[in-house]
Structure 1
Amino acid sequence: MSTVMVALLRGVNVGASTKVPMADLRRVVAGCGYGDVRTYVNSGNVVLTADDPDPDAVADRLRAACAEAFPVRPDVVVRTRDELHAVVAANPFLDRDDDPTHHHVVFLPGHDRPVAPDLDVAAFHPEDLALGAREVYLYLPFGMGRSALATRLAARKGERGTARNWRTVTTLASLADAAGG
């Protein structure tokens, strides 16, 4: 039985040196033996089905295949459909407003819980963050591009992840549901 998964590539199509055409990405993912391959927007979001139920193994395989196929070597974070739905259900900031451009999730690789940032989050008010199981939830009412909190987090050494806005997260959850039949 296949497992529906979502692969999130970090740093794809954010500059001239990071170009990965989505049609080529779909071919690479399908060439790894994954089925029902769909991409969403032009930033490295892939819905797929895999016979291997281990998201880390799928991430490793996709990371290697992308490194071989493209000039950019993106990190890859993979979540199962159920894990993605748990991320959606756990967002602690949805009671603040319903504007999807204000809500972001940073997906971290591996199985470790995120480490609390060594900064005074209250100093960034009204921006906020909360730690999830393997994600960092961000509430950025002025958007990611103007966020002092997001800038500080991105400058930290150590944990690396890939951020997605709320509209992308929820759309990927819907696409994963559709892939599951």
Structure 2
Amino acid sequence: MTHYIALLRAVNVGGTGKLPMSELKALCEAVGFADVRTYIASGNVLFTSKLAESAVKKKLEKQLHDYAGKPVGVLIRSADEMARILADNPFPEAPGNRVVAIFLDDAPAADALDNVKHQKLERLACGKREIYVHYGEGMADSRLTIPAAKTGTARNINTITRLAQLSCAS
């Protein structure tokens, strides 16, 4: 059994994509995932499965589509990957609430950061299947646009830390 973390895109953020975490848990259990639990109300769910990552993603996206009546983006990471993402944080000196990893399905292209717009004090770096952003002055006033991250979903380092801890504690 592999320990997975599913990160849903645009769920319970800014009034879009409402999905009670109890429903998310039930949807995951209905497709056969085990040891299911959610973490905060922004679309984070941890579980175990014998399936490969691609099959997990496909099953969960179908179940969410059936539930919501529209596509819901899902990014999957194993517990080991989540720990690596945390360890690879290129901005470890920055507060965890000012650094995010934007999770992508695939590795960012070599030119992923070439078309960034409205960058001011933000620092960016590519990871294996992530783009890290340090919002120096905070996210509230940032107008940063990263076209390569359009289909991704972001979590701050504090959330990633907790997800890594929870996934290893299962």
Q: TM-score, normalised by structure 1?
A: 0.85
Structure 2: distance between partners of 1:33 and 1:141: 42
Structure 2: distance between partners of 1:46 and 1:147: 28
Identity of aligned residues (%): 36
Which residue of 1 is the match for residue 20 of structure 2? 21
On the 8 A contact 1:6/1:80 being kept in 2, the answer is yes
Structure 2: distance between partners of 1:164 and 1:145: 15
On the 8 A contact 1:19/1:72 being kept in 2, the answer is no
Residue number among 108, 126, 133 corresponding to 1:138 in the alignment: 133
Q: TM-score, normalised by structure 2?
A: 0.90
Q: Which amino acid aligns with 1:60?
A: K
Which residue of 2 is the match for residue 45 of structure 1? 44
Q: Which amino acid aligns with 2:142?
A: S
Q: Which amino acid aligns with 2:27?
A: V
Q: Which amino acid aligns with 2:152?
A: G
Which residue of 2 is the match for residue 163 of structure 1? 154
Structure 1: runs of 5 or more not aligned: none
Structure 2: distance between partners of 1:60 and 1:34: 13
Structure 1: distance between partners of 2:12 and 2:123: 27
On the 8 A contact 1:103/1:137 being kept in 2, the answer is yes
* Residue 126 (1) aligns with residue 121 (2): yes
**Is the alpha carbon distance of 1:64 and 1:140 closer, same or farther for their aligned partners in structure 2, counting shifts above 3 Å?**
same
Structure 2: distance between partners of 1:173 and 1:85: 5
On the 8 A contact 2:112/2:148 being kept in 1, the answer is no
Residue number among 102, 108, 123 corresponding to 2:104 in the alignment: 108
Instruction: Kindly report structure 1 stretches of 4+ aligned residues shifted beyond 4 Å.
Output: none
What SS does the corresponding residue of 1:18 show, helix, strand or coil?
Answer: coil
* Residue 177 (1) aligns with residue 157 (2): no
On the 8 A contact 2:31/2:60 being kept in 1, the answer is yes
Structure 2: runs of 5 or more not aligned: none
On the 8 A contact 1:130/1:137 being kept in 2, the answer is yes
On the 8 A contact 2:9/2:43 being kept in 1, the answer is yes
Which residue of 1 is the match for residue 59 of structure 2? 61
Q: 1:47: Cα distance to partner?
A: 0.5
On the 8 A contact 1:63/1:75 being kept in 2, the answer is yes
